[in-house]
């Protein structure tokens, strides 16, 4: 009967290959409430102005105030309980104050514009999240499944309990399972929050999403990983939206004290005149006007919209910037360093010459089989292309930046770096301590590498450096091809990181582009770390602040230019906000600012600042960033 098979097919088809949490933008509650508030206001104010009886428009105003005010009001009260003062609350109080003295229209307008700017902000955040999620759909997590026929690469969501997977060094575990063979350390930070790598040996339980260290593991899948993959993507998206940029944190700190100052001044402006016999309504009106114009709404909206918009736009063009912090940092870099293999080159090298016998090649391929390194794949591919039998290795260990060693058919086999001949990458095969063969490999330069390096040099006003673990000859050849004259070759992972730290100590802000396990320490040390999405190992993707999803080097100068533009917009916004608030406050204190004018001025500047930031959402912003870097 064909039924069971049909069942499996259905189960596979219905497995969530992509997250199904995508909602339409209009479904956002912020947007709905803002629309309701706006509609009620639009219905109420013509009746109010036309002098219709109060029962026709008063309920509509009530709906407007409630729809636009309940959420910020409640959030503000909650913040107050934690002894922090929120501008949202100031706005709601100001609107209610205006209503209390009969200025329903002004209060309503304040509520509506406030709700609309809140909805705009929510929309911008949602678009960012959608873009990011869309990208992650493009780069699904895959796993290497071991079957009787050999190894096959499958989507992690297609794994089923009972499957055996091979996990190479630096790769993320695709499923919850049990170690069958191999020895390594596994970093469980993402699952348990425990930042220490724990040893993993046969029989140990391991978890999806944790990072494998420098050993290779064979793991039996124990659970269906589908749910987990979705959870991981959701967490990444959240990470992008939830972290606050340094400028934002700074603004929020100032905002707190400032808001308290506004409340104190408002109380004084109300209390003093009343004490000296001024009319109560008159005093309340002035106090409310002051509170509205002095509120730092525009300042609050100055920072995040430009950065979030830039993140969304970069996301649509294949650059995943993980947080607002990262977006802000990118624009500050003034020195660039790039890795060679897999970053400037395509990372799909071919073996061009084998100096030695083919037995050594077969042994080397066996030792390289569990490795994630591009060179390892080339060695394995060459052995298979020659029809050699590749035996299974045991005791595999990787030394990132140097090579691998393993026991094959009772022989101790090491494959590690060697100095090349005429500018080629070369690895030496050592069997039982005796040199057995030298394999020469060459890799092609990535498309657009030369232009990207030149653009990065122009943008930062400094000469980019090539940091590589490869030999000096191969490094010099690639450097010459791509137009770099500052080369550091033969570096181990910690030496790459040390080079970055040295520059940072000297006051530079370093942008590091890399792909490998061996680049991870340097990516972490850099002011901004950029990983190549396709060529990149999971460890590099995890450590980097920015992921170039489609491996287009040209996107890197563009995103740096976009970040600079976002930073300029933040400064511009803070200036606009500061000048508007200052002018209105002085006008109110010195002259006499009518309440409607105060509301219009305050909300006008807030909306202006908000929209100014959203300009970076348009595709034109990305094109401008690209063109800017091309022209220099």
Q: Which residues bind ligand ADP (CB under 6 A)?
A: 339-342, 368, 371, 373, 375-376, 401-404, 415-417, 425, 427, 468-470, 516, 518
User: Does 470 engage in binding with Mg ion (CB under 5 A)?
Assistant: no
H-helix or E-strand spanning residue 513: strand 510-514
Catalytic residue among 48, 106, 187, 339: 339
Shortest distance in whole angstroms from residue 386 CB to ligand ADP:
18
| Range in contact with Mg ion (rule: CB under 5 A) among 200-208, 296-304, 514-522, 542-550 | 514-522
3-state secondary structure of 179: strand
Residue 245, Ramachandran bin (φ over 0: left; ψ between -120 and 50: alpha; else beta): beta
3-state secondary structure of 403: strand
User: Does 341 engage in binding with Mg ion (CB under 5 A)?
Assistant: yes
Beta carbon nearer to Mg ion, 120 or 513: 513
Is 339 labeled as catalytic in the residue annotation?
Answer: yes
Beta carbon nearer to Mg ion, 516 or 557: 516
**Residue 416: contacted member of Mg ion, ligand ADP, none (CB under 5 to 8 Å, by partner type):** ligand ADP
Residue nearest to Mg ion (CB): 516
Beta carbon nearer to ligand ADP, 306 or 516: 516
| CB count in 10 Å sphere of residue 277 | 7
Answer for which of 30, 106, 176, 339 binds Mg ion (CB under 5 A) is 339
User: Does 515 engage in binding with Mg ion (CB under 5 A)?
Assistant: yes
**Residue 468: contacted member of ligand ADP, Mg ion, none (CB under 5 to 8 Å, by partner type):** ligand ADP
Shortest distance in whole angstroms from residue 470 CB to Mg ion:
9
Span between the terminal Cα atoms of the chain, in Å: 68
Beta carbon nearer to Mg ion, 339 or 428: 339
Q: Which residue has the tokens 């209009």?
A: 26
**Rounded to an integer, what distance in angstroms lies between the CA atom of residue 231 and that of residue 233?**
5
Beta bridge partners of 430: 414, 435
Length of the chain: 632
User: Does 613 engage in binding with Mg ion (CB under 5 A)?
Assistant: no
Whether residue 553 contacts residue 450, with contact meaning beta carbons closer than 8 Å, is answered with no
Beta carbon nearer to ligand ADP, 202 or 435: 435
Q: How far is CA 579 from the centre of its chain?
A: 33
User: Does 443 engage in binding with Mg ion (CB under 5 A)?
Assistant: no
3-state secondary structure of 254: helix
The backbone torsions φ and ψ at residue 488, rounded to the nearest 5 degrees and listed phi first, read: -125, 115
Answer for which of 215, 516, 521, 533 binds Mg ion (CB under 5 A) is 516
Beta bridge partners of 150: 147
Residue nearest to ligand ADP (CB): 469
CA separation, residue 561 to residues 333, 344, 377, 515, 615 (Å): 11, 20, 35, 22, 15
Shortest distance in whole angstroms from residue 22 CB to ligand ADP:
36
**Residue 417: contacted member of Mg ion, ligand ADP, none (CB under 5 to 8 Å, by partner type):** ligand ADP
Question: Please, is 194 exposed, middle or buried when counting C-beta atoms within 10 Å of its C-beta (0-12, 13-18, 19+)?
Answer: exposed
Beta carbon nearer to ligand ADP, 293 or 512: 512
Catalytic residues: 339
């Amino acid at each position: 009967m064909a039924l069971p098979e049909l069942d499996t097919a259905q189960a596979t088809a219905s497995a969530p290959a992509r997250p199904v949490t995508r909602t339409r933008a209009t479904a956002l509650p912020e947007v709905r409430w803002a629309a309701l508030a706006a509609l009620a206001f639009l219905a109420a104010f013509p009746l109010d102005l036309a002098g219709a009886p109060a029962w026709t428009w008063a309920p509509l105003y009530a709906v407007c105030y409630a729809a636009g005010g309940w959420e910020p009001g409640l959030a503000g009260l909650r913040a107050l309980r934690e002894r922090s003062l929120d501008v949202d609350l100031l706005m709601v109080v100001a609107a209610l104050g205006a209503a209390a003295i009969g200025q329903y229209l002004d209060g309503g307008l304040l509520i509506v514009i406030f709700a609309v700017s809140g909805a705009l902000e929510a929309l911008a955040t949602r678009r960012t999240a959608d873009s990011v999620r869309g990208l992650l759909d493009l780069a699904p997590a895959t796993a290497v499944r071991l079957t009787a026929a050999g190894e096959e690469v499958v989507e992690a969501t297609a794994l089923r309990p009972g499957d055996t997977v091979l996990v190479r060094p630096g790769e993320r575990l695709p499923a919850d399972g049990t170690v069958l063979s191999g020895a390594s350390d596994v970093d469980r930070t993402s699952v348990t929050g425990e930042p220490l790598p724990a040893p993993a040996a046969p029989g140990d339980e391991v978890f999806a999403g944790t990072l494998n260290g420098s050993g290779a593991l064979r793991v039996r899948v124990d659970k269906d990983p589908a749910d987990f993959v979705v959870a991981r993507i959701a967490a990444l998206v959240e990470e992008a939206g939830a972290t606050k940029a340094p400028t934002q944190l700074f603004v929020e700190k100032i905002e707190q004290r400032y808001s308290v100052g506004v409340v104190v001044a408002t109380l004084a402006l109300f209390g003093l005149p009343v004490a000296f016999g001024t009319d109560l309504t008159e005093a309340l009106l002035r106090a409310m006007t002051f509170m509205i114009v002095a509120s730092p709404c525009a300042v609050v909206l100055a920072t995040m919209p430009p950065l979030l918009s830039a993140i969304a736009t970069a996301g649509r063009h294949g650059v995943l910037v993980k947080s607002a912090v990262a977006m802000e940092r990118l624009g500050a870099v003034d020195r660039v360093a790039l890795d060679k293999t897999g970053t400037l080159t395509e990372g799909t090298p071919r073996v061009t010459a084998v100096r030695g016998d083919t037995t050594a090649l077969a042994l080397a391929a066996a030792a390289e089989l569990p490795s994630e390194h591009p060179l390892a794949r080339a060695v394995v591919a060459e052995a298979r292309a020659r029809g050699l039998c590749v035996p299974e290795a045991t005791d595999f260990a990787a030394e990132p930046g140097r090579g691998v060693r393993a026991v094959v058919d009772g022989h101790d086999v090491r494959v590690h770096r060697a100095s090349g001949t005429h500018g080629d990458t070369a690895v030496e095969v050592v069997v039982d301590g005796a040199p057995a063969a030298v394999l020469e490999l060459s890799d092609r330069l990535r498309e657009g590498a030369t232009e990207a390096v030149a653009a990065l040099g122009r943008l930062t006003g400094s000469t980019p450096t090539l940091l590589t673990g490869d030999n000096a000859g191969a490094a010099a050849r690639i450097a010459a091809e791509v137009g770099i004259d500052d080369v550091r070759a033969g570096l181990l992972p910690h030496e790459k990181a040390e080079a970055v730290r040295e520059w940072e100590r000297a006051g530079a802000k370093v942008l590091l582009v890399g792909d490998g396990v061996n680049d991870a320490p340097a990516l972490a040390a850099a002011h901004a770390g950029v990983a190549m999405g396709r060529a990149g190992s999971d460890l590099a993707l995890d450590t980097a602040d920015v992921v170039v999803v489609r491996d287009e080097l040209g996107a890197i100068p563009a995103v740096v230019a976009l970040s600079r533009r976002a930073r300029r917009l933040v400064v511009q916004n803070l200036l606009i906000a500061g000048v508007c608030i200052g002018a209105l406050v002085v006008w109110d204190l010195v002259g006499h600012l009518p309440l409607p004018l105060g509301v219009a001025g305050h909300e006008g500047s807030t909306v202006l600042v908000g929209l100014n930031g959203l300009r970076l959402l348009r595709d034109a912003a990305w094109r401008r960033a690209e063109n800017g870097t091309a022209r220099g």
